[in-house]
Structure 1
């Protein structure tokens, strides 16, 4: 063992003349031969392929397929569960991307069809008024050539206006724009629901299937193309708009079926709450939904009259302009001028007032109440309270959807008695619209 001597002399300090001696023992290091590990012969790509297959190939496939006989498929439970959950998360993210694209599509097409409504309404009115002015000028003109030119021009303009009005009244651009606005809003709502499910964590295959069904149901309720799948603008009977799939009872996950603390008791449901929800359903069905369906039917009938009147008036005006100068009577001039003026007024009321949009708005409101009715009945008819939505959260959701506070919702239930006649109760359930 080697020894190193350290000495220092503090001669410069007047108060210290002590000599300090220190000894440091340094151990001898024995150098041995270092052995390096031998690298495996297989390449990095083969190693990665082996790990991937080891993680994702099920054991049953390895037993059935001889190609996987040399692969060790013994995996723990937690990685398999984690990979399954990751797959569901990936699927929900994919659906969210599709939903976001649907939002942009409906938003853009809705703006385009709103422009159709304003541009076509203005154009048809200008064409009709121009033709009516030409008929008036031809009626007071005594020269033959100008009369013929005005007569032919006014007839062409009236025929063009008649064709445009037939197309406009068939497709109802204002109603189409309202459909796309509703679709964009509902797809945004679905996007937020999916984001909430992902934030809560642990999505299941049922969540993925439910999201796909909702996307397809919205596509059926609010189609994008005009030809073939366009909604009927003048139905025989008015029914609420339906944009949701057929609702089924909620299936509990395995972890929810266990004796966890989240599902103890009656899951927030009480007899008072069930009775309150039954009364809310009765008011929604007999007051709110019935009222909006009645108004929808009235607006639809009014729109039918306007849709028939405007092309009929322009057609009569075109007939009057054809006989202009051919008969010694004043009725061609009167028919051509008055028909064009009245057609402009009717067209302005129908498309400028967006009567089709009002009909679609009332129909969508009735559909909103129908969705609430089905959701409430689905919960209160379920015998197992654990398969329902949480009672406290459900009461808050119903109250806010109706534009009420919790106290106002409970007061509504207290005012209603099943012993009263349905027509005796005048209050509506919704304060929102």
Structure 2
């Protein structure tokens, strides 16, 4: 019985194993993807890696982001980028400091002037009182007026509110240049001409908006109002071809750009220069009137109590100080110098736009211009208009016998 049982168990087990093996073979034959997918995917991955290895250069110095002739171009751009970032912070910090100058000097000078006028009024009121310290009050009022006059002359000379606007413009332009350099680095393939152009732009902004006051400070009361210039000589743009043989340019687009130049010249730039002249005249008049009034207040205080001159001395000693405070508040509290600099910078913006358009139109080789469609969009964005609005402005300005009514820019 034992032998029979032991012999029958292996026989049945062998049959089961045989059936399972045949069933497994059927699965492999009918559905080979159960085992083979990893092999297939690995083969595709190897083929992809081989293709990528043919594209990527073995030598990192020959990367397409760096010019083959000047492998140090990227390093130079990063050096300029670091300097530009530092200048942004410098102009921002110095602008805040000079804004504090404006508010502190304005408050101090007005306080000193009104104190001098108050002492003059007290001295005039006690002229008939025996034993009153009128002489002390007179001298104190006169010296206080002289101190206010000296501070006011210095403040009117440097125009802190105008200095603040200069630093704001410089910080904004440096940030714009910083973004341009970062874009060129991100796109790749910078050239030595990009480095030289970035250097020229940095130095042009430094000349237009200098940081120090002594020696290189901009003239606050120029004889002639001219647009601010913070850019180097404008060069032609990219040499990449557009979607057609004319690099995106057409006869209609050239005519449109010429009409836009005319609008910017006749309306926008001329209007801001006109406003700048008015702001300059007002600022110059206030800057002269303030020290004159405080000086007259000092003279009036000195003659208080003198019998033949007492009447006009009282008027000068009191009224001149009050008027000087009003003039000083209008000039520096109203930031008339800042307004003048804003008008001058706006006129400079439109002059830059004109030169940018003219530099492209003067280039005979259309492939050497910036792409026409991209350039039209750039002009429209800078003027705060859509493409259709830009074309309408150009069309309305080209009508003969009709004056230009609409300004080119809608931003300012």
Unpaired stretches in structure 1, ≥5 consecutive residues: 1-8, 21-74
In the TM superposition, 1:18-417 aligns within 5 A as: 78=62, 84=69, 86-141=71-126, 142-250=129-237, 252=239, 265-328=245-308, 329-417=310-398
The separation in 1 between residues aligned to 2:8 and 2:223, in whole angstroms, is 118
- Deviation string for 1:281-322 (max 9, x for gaps)? 001001111110000001101111100000000000000011
Q: Quick one: structure 1 residues 401 and 151, their matched pair in 2 at CA, closer, same or farther if it must change by over 3 Å?
A: same
Distance 1:11 1:374, change over 3 A: farther
Q: How far 1:79 moved relative to its partner?
A: 7.7
SS for the counterpart of 1:16 is helix
Measure, in 1, the Cα distance between the counterparts of 2:257 and 2:201: 25
CA displacement 1:128-154 (0-9 Å, x = unmatched): 001101100111112445211211111
* Pair 1:12–1:218, CA change in 2 (3 A): farther
Are the equivalent residues in 2 in contact too, given 1:10–1:16 (CA < 8 A)? no
Q: 1:96 to 1:79 in 2, by over 3 A?
A: closer
How far, CA to CA, are the matches of 2:201 and 2:349 in structure 1? Answer: 15
d(CA) in 2 for partners of 1:251 and 1:413? 25
Contact 2:67 2:190 in 1 (8 A): no
Give the alignment's TM-score, normalised by structure 1: 0.79
What do the CA deviations read for 1:139-171 (whole angstroms, capped 9, x no partner)? 111244521121111111100000011001111
Is this contact kept in 2: 1:11–1:17, CA < 8 A?
no
Given that 2:238 and 2:368 are in contact with CA atoms closer than 8 Å, whether structure 1 keeps it comes out as yes
* 1:387, distance to aligned residue in structure 2 (A): 1.0
Q: Report deviation, 1:413.
A: 1.5
Deviation at 1:337, TM superposition (A): 0.2
Q: Is the 8 A contact 1:10 1:17 kept in 2?
A: no
Which digits, 9 at most, give the CA deviation of each residue in 1:13-39, with x for residues without a partner? 794279x9xxxxxxxxxxxxxxxxxxx
1:79–1:207 distance in 2 versus 1, CA, 3 Å: closer
Shift of 1:219: 0.5
Aligned residues of 2:363 and 2:369 also touching (Cα < 8 A):
yes
SS at match of 2:13: coil
Aligned to 2:410: 431
Distance 1:76 1:396, change over 3 A: closer
1:249 offset after TM fit, Å? 3.6
Question: Offset at 1:419?
Answer: 3.0
Q: Aligned equivalents of 1:173 and 1:362: distance in 2?
A: 16
Structure 2: tracts of 5 or more residues without a match: 1-5, 18-58
Shift in Å, 1:333: 1.4
Task: Report the Cα distance in structure 2 between the residues aligned to 1:196 and 1:366, rounded to whole angstroms.
Answer: 27
Q: Shift of the alpha carbon at 1:380?
A: 1.1
Where does residue 24 of structure 2 map in the other structure?
none
Count of residue pairs the alignment pairs up: 362
Q: Quickly say closer, same or farther: Cα 1:77–1:431, change in 2 above 3 A.
A: closer
What's the TM-score, normalizing by structure 2? 0.83
Kindly provide the CA deviation profile for residues 356-385 of structure 1, in whole angstroms up to 9, marking residues without a partner as x.
000000000000000000000111111111
Q: Deviations over 1:34-58 (max 9, x none)?
A: xxxxxxxxxxxxxxxxxxxxxxxxx
Q: How far off is 1:326 after superposition? A: 3.1
Partners of 1:187 and 1:10 lie apart in 2 by 96
Contact 1:114 1:173 in 2 (8 A): yes
Q: 1:386 to 1:322 in 2, by over 3 A?
A: same
How far apart are the structure 1 equivalents of 2:192 and 2:376?
27
- Partner-residue secondary structure (3-state), 1:426: coil
Structure 1 counterpart SS, 2:72: helix
Measured in 2, the distance between the counterparts of 1:352 and 1:419 equals 46
- Shift in Å at residue 415 of structure 1? 1.3
Tell me: CA distance 1:120–1:377, structure 2 relative to 1, closer, same or farther (3 Å).
Answer: same
Deviations 1:107-133 (A, max 9, x none): 000000011001100110000001101
TM-fit CA distance, 1:416: 2.0
Aligned equivalents of 1:11 and 1:85: distance in 2? 87
